[in-house]
Every structure is written in C-alpha cells, then in structure tokens.
Homo-oligomer: A and B are copies of this chain.
C-alpha cells in the first residue's frame, strides 16, 4: 500500500580535475573524518574495537602478528593518514587515487606478492525511504589482513560482522582471501532484495498505466530506466571482477576457495539476468504507455463522434424548419405553395419527431455494429 518511489540518483562523474598529476591524493575538504574499526581473530583469539587514531590502529595490528585482521577505515578526511597508508601497506598512489574518487567501476588488480586491490560498489537502500544509493568499497588483501576503505560511515556488512562474532566456524580459520570473498558476497547478495523491489515496482507501474496513464508515470518510467542503466553499469564489471578472480592462479587464490568465487560469479550472472529482464520490461512500459494513451484517445474520439454524428444532423433539420420563408407575398398576399408547406400540416411536428428518433436509432445501431460501445 505504501507508495513506491524510485528517485533518480545524481550521476557521479570522474572527479579528478583534468591536468592534475595522476596518482595525486588530494582529499576534498568535505570528506568525512576517518573512523577506524578493527576485527582481529585467530583460532584462539577474538577482538573487535573502534580505535581513536590510525597510529593506535597500527599498534593493535602489529601487536598480534599471528592473528588475522579486518581493518575497516571509513572516511577519507585526513590526508596524512592516507599517505601513511600508502607507505605502510605498500600501495601505489594511483590506487589510493582510485580509492578516494568515489566513481570507479568494480574491478580487481593484482599487485606485488599476490595481493589484490578490489573495488566493488555497495548498494545502500532503506525500504522505508525507498532511496537507492551506491557507494564504493575498496578492498586490499594481505597475508594476514583485509583492508577496506569507504567514503562515509554506513555500510551493508553488519550481517557479516555478526557472523564473525558469533560463528566460531569457518571464517576465522580460513585464509584472508576467504574474508575478501565473504565481503564481496555480502555486497552482491544485497542487490537481490532491491531487484525484487524493483520488479514489484514495475508491476505496480504497469497496473497504474493500464488503469489511468498520467504524465507522472512517464517520468517514473524514465527514472526507472535511468536507474536500471546505472545498475547495469555496476553489475557487468562486477561479473567481470568475479570472473577474473576465478581465473587467478593458485598462489593468489587457493583452489579450495574457487568454489566460493564460482558461486559468487553465478550470483553476479543472475543479477545481470534480472537487470536485463527489468530493462526489457521497462521498455515495454513505454510501449504500454503509448498504447494506452492511444486507446484513451480512441475512446474520447468515440464519445465526440457519436454525439456529434447524432446531433449535428438533427440540428440541421430543426434549423431547417426554423427558417422564415414567407408563406405569401407580403404585398400582394399571394400564397407561395412551395414555401415550406410542411409547416402548415397538422401532423408535421409529430412526424418529424418520429423521423428524428428513427435517425437516432439507426445511428446507434451503426455504431453498435462497428463495436464502438464495446470497449467503454
């Protein structure tokens, strides 16, 4: 019953000012102050904490070299910290530039020592507000850590954190690459309820258009199409990303994990299927709109034509007998025998009424035969 609404998001366009040195890491003044979250765990050890500074974070990490760490930094508003990250984790300035410019296509890059730099896009979406937003999540993997970076504080990974906290199971004992997979998988799974919602939205829109097409439907369809174009621009590279991960050799991604990435790949393909399906249906919506409008035009024209066709000839007839042709020469008084003699017959009026009624009935029958009353 709630009114669904898809609002078109503003397009994010490549942000680097033309001519700025590639690999320049310049943080906008509006960037969020960074917050530092850490989850450390091994078979025997588990710690989850928010740190006050980057320095403190690194100390925690170094204090437990035997453990695995999920270093989760949110917000980029600290240039010094970013540069420290580059040197501490051995990143390339171009990578950091990709991280802080929130417009990248999903992709994966392998760099030295079998480490991966992955960019994926989280969909954030709240059912109450029906707002749809996508935010970039950057992932760096290392031997004993996974480093994730995002531009603001909210994410869609809480369910994964809960799994790590609760489950003493697989995730704590697997290589860090499994951790990376788990993050990618959660991000991808998050698209599906959105797809279901959009599917429902399309069916609702279709019903609205069929019942009563209105101008606002048109912009709704356009917003929908635009939204689906953008989702598609995320989903395809997301699939390519999974495919590239699948094809990496054993040293980077152990074969024992391939089955998981294969599963994620299948999900990405299904996502694309759904998006393409929704796109086709939204294209059909435009046709439906056009057809329904044409249909209504036909109905309107039928009303006009039926009424006009019946009454315009009748108006002529009654106008005919409203003419003032004189019955006699006003000067000589000679009677004009052919000047509207009907007017002076006793039953002319009822005969005329009967004739007009017959004419109406004939026309109604004609329109009925042509099926003009059927579609009302």
Residues of A within 8 A of B (CB): 11, 13-14, 16-23, 92, 94, 98, 103-105, 107, 109, 156-160, 162-163, 167, 169-171, 182, 185-186, 189-190, 192-193, 195-196, 199, 206, 210, 212-215, 218-219, 222, 225-226, 229-230, 233, 259-260, 262-263, 266-267, 269-271, 273-274, 277, 280-281, 284, 286-305, 307-316, 318-327, 329-330, 334, 336-340, 342-350, 370-372, 374-375
B288-A287 in contact (CB<8A): no
Closest to A299 in B: B370
- Determine the distance from Cα of A291 to Cα of B349 in the docked complex, in whole angstroms: 47
Copies of the chain in the assembly: 5
Known contacts: A273-B105, A308-B308, A346-B336. The answer to whether A330 contacts B329 by CB under 8 A is no
In the complex, chain B residues whose CB is within 8 Å of the CB of A318: 316, 319-320, 322-323
In the complex, chain B residues whose CB is within 8 Å of the CB of A315: 311-312, 315-316, 319
In the complex, chain B residues whose CB is within 8 Å of the CB of A271: 14
Known contacts: A260-B22, A301-B297. The answer to whether A229 contacts B312 by CB under 8 A is no
A19-B163 in contact (CB<8A): yes
- Determine the distance from Cα of A13 to Cα of B193 in the docked complex, in whole angstroms: 8
B344-A229 in contact (CB<8A): no
Q: A94-B259, A300-B305, A339-B346 are in contact. List 10 more A-B contacts (CB 8 A).
A: A11-B277, A14-B271, A18-B156, A21-B171, A105-B269, A105-B273, A294-B297, A308-B312, A323-B324, A339-B349
In the complex, chain B residues whose CB is within 8 Å of the CB of A186: 18-19
Known contacts: A159-B20, A277-B233, A329-B344. The answer to whether A371 contacts B212 by CB under 8 A is yes
A105-B266 in contact (CB<8A): yes
Closest to A97 in B: B263
B346-A329 in contact (CB<8A): yes
One of B214, B266, B269, B339 near A348 (C-beta < 8 A): B339
A270-B375 in contact (CB<8A): no
In the complex, chain B residues whose CB is within 8 Å of the CB of A163: 19-21
B304-A311 in contact (CB<8A): no
A116 to chain B, nearest CB (A): 15
A229-B277 in contact (CB<8A): yes
In the complex, chain B residues whose CB is within 8 Å of the CB of A290: 287, 290-291, 294
In the complex, chain B residues whose CB is within 8 Å of the CB of A229: 277, 280-281
A222-B375 in contact (CB<8A): no
15 contacts between A and B (CB under 8 A): A13-B199, A17-B159, A18-B186, A19-B158, A22-B263, A104-B270, A109-B262, A215-B292, A298-B300, A308-B312, A311-B316, A323-B324, A326-B343, A338-B350, A339-B349
B260-A94 in contact (CB<8A): yes
One of B210, B230, B295 near A277 (C-beta < 8 A): B230
In the complex, chain B residues whose CB is within 8 Å of the CB of A372: 300
- Determine the distance from Cα of A336 to Cα of B212 in the docked complex, in whole angstroms: 51
Of residues A182, A314, A347, which shows the largest number of chain B Cβ atoms within 10 Å of its Cβ?
A314
A344-B321 in contact (CB<8A): no
- Determine the distance from Cα of A36 to Cα of B56 in the docked complex, in whole angstroms: 56
A304-B305 in contact (CB<8A): yes
- Determine the distance from Cα of A170 to Cα of B195 in the docked complex, in whole angstroms: 46
In the complex, chain B residues whose CB is within 8 Å of the CB of A324: 321-324, 340, 343
Of residues A109, A190, A325, which shows the largest number of chain B Cβ atoms within 10 Å of its Cβ?
A325
